[in-house]
Amino acid sequence: MFDISAALPLVLFSEDLLALSCHYCPSLRSKMAAVGDSKGVIGKTDSEDRRFDSGDETANSSIEHPFSDPEVADRWRKVYENAQYENRHRFDPSFTWTAQEEKKLVRKIDFRICLWAWVMFLSLDFHRRNINRAISDNMLPEVGMNTNDFNYGQTIFLVSFLSAELPSGLISKKLGADRWIPFLICSWSLVAGSQAALHSRGAYFAIKALLGLLMGGFIPDIVLWLTYFYKSNELPIRLAFFWTALSTSNILGSLLAAGILQMRGVLGWGGWRWLFLLEAIGTFIIGLFSWVLMPPGPCQTKSWFRGKNGWFNEREEYIMVNRLLRDDPSKGDMNNREAVNLPKLWKAVKDWEQWPLYIIGLMVYIPPAPFNTYLSFILRQIGFSVFEANLLAIPSQFLYAVNLLIITWLSERVQERGMLSSLSNIWIFPWVLALVVLPGDISPWVRYALITGLLSYPYCHAILVGWNAKNSNSVRTRAISAALYNMFVQTGNIAASNIFREDDQPLYRRGNRVILGITSANIVLFYIVKAFYIWRNKVRDARWNALTKEQQQDYILNTTDEGQQRLDFRFAH
């Protein structure tokens, strides 16, 4: 959808090194495409092999790509064989295809893969957020809890969620996301449904711990699974769509809650008990379908449910595999049933240049989180009914989804990550400032409007996850960095869950002042991280340009450096 290249200084290579280095410096790939005939085809076509017959002389590739040089192609072929990469039988440096074919195929992948990933995310977020609606129906006093108890439960959930991120990711990498994720969805649906029988604070804490352990690994697992099907420039906008599940679940959840909570008294139950039970039944069904709708990878879609011929024909499999590997050859350096061992894990953790993104993940989502959690509760406290409090959450979620898609699209369009991501906290700042300085007796509708404006902020998570994946530059690092990044996000959520306290309600003026300070710091943080990556690229430029042409070529072919440690890799920012 977008022509992507890293916004970073160019390293000038001689012509024979351009073909070898275009993967590691994506900006060079764009330069080569501009120099060459963009309508040319890659390599020669075997006229006797119809799978290579594109039917159109316009191939959807530049003349040069990472495997144009036979030595480089042979090197990577050995890497794929050693890794037992599941798609290696479709790797072919001379294969060609048309832009029209690829566009049609990507739409097919969107429907088969991305759409179901979105549905699965809905099943998670329904149960992560429905307690926010349940507390608007007198759940806390009926279970014998107060706001602080609720916060403790949320903290337990987030600590468990955080603790499960990496172990779950490692299990998924070994078993395969297509096996592990459906198991998780079915399991958390059963546990979430048990909240319908909740009668004590201890049971609430236990259920929140179990839910956190089961949900913790889902997001990094599903993001890694999506990278098996999408190129680096295609992923952020798909992740933006993926994260619209958050607003969709809030909108649908609010509508469902507005109706289901009216069931109070049916069988002697509170409405919130019916809410937990009925939503759990729906998400359990999603989990069952996930067992048969998640293929392990592009060339592994054949099954009794998906058909004996699978979703993609042979030519489509060749297109999928070769377009992915030409975009990022490292996507084949591990197979999708290969575990990450402890040395590889430690190696990924030691990639210190990835840590600024983890710090952003820790801080950036703290400001809106308390308002998102307590919106319905705050509205009840300032005079709105249960029905009104749930329906009034919908406008902010709709605007949030629109802004999420716009900012992610704009980021890919202009190839800017750090500055555009800072807009999320720049947006939040004036709304929080107003909540801090305005008197406490302002109209409930004015307070509602301020919180709605705040929660309509442009969510930058898709940009940051794509940024994190792009700077990882290997399957090993990508699998670990996705989990680590999300662990830092959840650590930030733990802090956020304790900002609004019992003695500060209903206006939470002390909490608002804390949020204002964090928002201000976050705006500065984005620019510091951008400056950091610009500096690291300049350091690498200087070291690379100090090498002779022969040394550069020898490095590209023979270095043992991997991932972002490669001297010819440049960070996106």
> Other CB atoms closer than 10 Å to residue 473's CB: what's the count?
25
Q: Is residue 67 over pLDDT 60?
A: yes
Is residue 18 in some structural domain? no
Is residue 507 in some structural domain? yes
3-state secondary structure of 290: helix
How much is the pLDDT for 119? 95
Q: Is residue 37 over pLDDT 90?
A: no
Q: How confident is the model at residue 338 (pLDDT cuts 50, 70, 90)?
A: confident
Is residue 344 in some structural domain? yes
Q: Is residue 509 over pLDDT 80?
A: yes
Q: Is residue 12 over pLDDT 80?
A: no
- Percentage of the chain beyond pLDDT 70 is 88
Quickly tell me which residue has 């297109």 as its tokens. 319
Instruction: Give pLDDT tens digits for 270-303.
Output: 889 999 999 999 999 999 999 999 999 899 988 8
pTM of the model: 0.74
Q: How confident is the model at residue 46 (pLDDT cuts 50, 70, 90)?
A: very low
Is residue 262 in some structural domain? yes
Is residue 499 in some structural domain? yes
How much is the pLDDT for 5? 33
Q: Is residue 478 over pLDDT 80?
A: no
Angle at 475 between CA 472 and CA 480, to 5 degrees: 65
Instruction: Give pLDDT tens digits for 104-128.
Output: 999 999 999 999 999 999 999 989 8
> Other CB atoms closer than 10 Å to residue 505's CB: what's the count?
16
Instruction: Give pLDDT tens digits for 367-377.
Output: 999 998 888 88
How much is the pLDDT for 549? 85
Greater pLDDT, 371 or 385:
371
At 68, give phi and psi (nearest 5°): -65, -35
Instruction: Give pLDDT tens digits for 412-446.
Output: 888 889 899 999 999 999 999 999 998 878 888 99
C-alpha pair distances (Å), 238 with each of 38, 161, 179, 196, 416: 26, 24, 22, 35, 17
Compute, in degrees rounded to 10, the torsion defined by CA atoms 389, 392, 398, 399. Answer: -120
The residue count of the chain comes to: 573
Please state the domain count of the chain.
Answer: 1
Q: Which range marks the domain in which residue 117 is found?
A: 99-535
- CATH assignment of the domain containing 173: 1.20.1250.20
How much is the pLDDT for 170? 84
Q: How confident is the model at residue 10 (pLDDT cuts 50, 70, 90)?
A: very low
Chain Cα centroid distance, residue 561: 27
Q: How confident is the model at residue 529 (pLDDT cuts 50, 70, 90)?
A: very high
Is residue 253 in some structural domain? yes
Is residue 49 in some structural domain? no
How much is the pLDDT for 60? 54
Is residue 496 in some structural domain? yes
Instruction: Give pLDDT tens digits for 492-501.
Output: 988 888 888 8
Of the candidate ranges 209-218, 399-408, 415-424, 548-557, the one whose mean pLDDT is the lowest: 548-557
Mean pLDDT of the chain: 82
Of the candidate ranges 149-158, 201-210, 470-479, 491-500, the one whose mean pLDDT is the lowest: 470-479
